[in-house]
Structure 1
Amino acid sequence: MVRVSPIHTVRRPDGWTNECDTWPRARDPHSTRDEAVRAGRERARQAAADHVLHAADGTVEDRAPSERAPRSAEPIDVALIVRRTSP
Structure 2
Amino acid sequence: MGLKDDIGAKLTAGLSPTHITVTDESDNHIGHSGWRPGGETHFRVEITAPAFAGKSRVERHRMVNALLAEEFANGMHALAVTARAPGE
Task: Indicate whether the TM-score tops 0.5.
Answer: no
Larger helix share, 1 or 2: 2
Larger radius of gyration between Structure 1 and Structure 2: 2
Higher RCO, 1 or 2 (CA under 8 Å, sep at least 6)? 2
Question: TM-score w.r.t. structure 1 length?
Answer: 0.30
